Amino acid sequence: MYITAASTISHQPTFKNAGFSKLIEPLKTDSELISPNFKDYIDAGLLRRMSKILRMSVTAAKDCLQQAGVDQPGAIIVGTGLGCLQDTEKFLNNFLTIEGLLPPTSFIQSTHNTIAGQISLSIGNHGYNMTHTQNTLSFEHALIDAGLLLVEGNDNIIVGAADEYIEILGEIGEKLSANPAINLTSGASFFVVSKDQSGNSIAKIKDVVTVGLVQDINVSIENFLTNNTLEESEIDLVLYSDFVDSGLVSDVVKRFENSSEAINYTNLVGIYPSNSSFALHYAADRIQNNNKIKTVLIINGLNRINLGLTLIQSIEA
């Protein structure tokens, strides 16, 4: 599957900023979402009701379509770990405080599949519309779905992921005695993927695998590399995330240190359940801007029991 367009809205200057991977520094703890002018992408009538996650997602998805020169995608597939939290919180607060009829908008927009739905509404798309919510592997599952659909004949698929931070997440984290250094953020990354290589192709997604209840990360990575007939030394860049500060993945990544550059992408974009979608955009951006990087491995270990492995290659590889 080939990436023909990529767009990310995050706490870093990623939006409409090709080459951002060379510029960004590790995120500071007081960072804020860098929002583009959403009115440039979303009709005012729709925008007024949209929460942060919807604004980010629809804008990034439409930016992708513009980049790819595609009017109507063959499908819209979204991954989200926690869904539309802002509307969920608003609805629950309404539910607790209002007697009588409840305002419908926050209820309607509180469901996870609102994201994919709003993307389709904003472009008038009537095709396959799917939402995957699988904790920290939501984006990987969306990618697998996109790959299967491409085989079935759909083309120019929008696939992406988004999650939004709301204040109560920080409060819950504190009550759970989570590490205070955790940098919870919001982000949305969307892509247009196609079956065949074209002039617009940025990079190629060679393989995506998810492992639930992972027992041995090392063995899973070895199997993944073997299945793709790759040696460790052939990986030029490893992008990884770790479960808080467990060091589970960073220890494993040491096996690549002689031959590869290794970057913990949660330090760059912060923590949200689908932040591996940022890693995919980061990988594609690095490949585009450095012809020495041919093969990138994303190791998503954000949740202790879930492992996501994604292999990205340059078009020439």
Partner 1 sequence: MDSLKEDLKKHIIEQLNLEDLTVSDIDDDALLFSADGIGLDSIDALELIVLMEKYYGIQVTNPDEGKVAFLSINTMADYIEKKRA
Q: Please calculate the CA angle 58-314-195 and round it to the nearest 5 degrees.
A: 60
* Comparison of 102 and 305: residue with beta carbon closer to partner 1: 102
**Cβ-based nearer residue to partner 1, 105 or 113:** 105
User: Among residues 26 and 104, whose Cβ is nearest to partner 1?
Assistant: 104
Q: How far is the CB of 137 from partner 1 (least distance, A)?
A: 33
Answer for the pair 285, 148: CB distance below 8 angstroms, yes or no.
no
Give me the least distance between CB of 105 and partner 1, in Å please: 6
In the complex, minimum distance from the CB of residue 129 to partner 1, in angstroms, rounded to a whole number = 19
Residue pair 156/66 in contact (Cβ under 8 Å)? The answer is no
Separation CA 137–CA 224 (nearest Å): 16
Report the 10 Å Cβ neighbour count for 311.
21
Buried b (16+ CB within 10 A) or exposed e, 114-140: bbbbbbbebbebeebbbbbbbebbbbb
Site pattern 96..135 for partner 1 (x: CB under 8 A)? --x-xxxxxx--x---------------------------
Choose the binding region for partner 1 from 95-103, 128-136, 212-220, 304-312 (rule: CB under 8 A).
95-103
Q: Which of residues 34-63 bind partner 1 (CB under 8 A)?
A: 44-45, 48-49
Instruction: Supply the minimum distance, in Å, between the C-beta of residue 32 and partner 1.
Output: 20
Strand partners, 160: 78, 190
Q: Which positions lie near partner 1, rule CB under 8 A?
A: 44-45, 48-49, 98, 100-105, 108
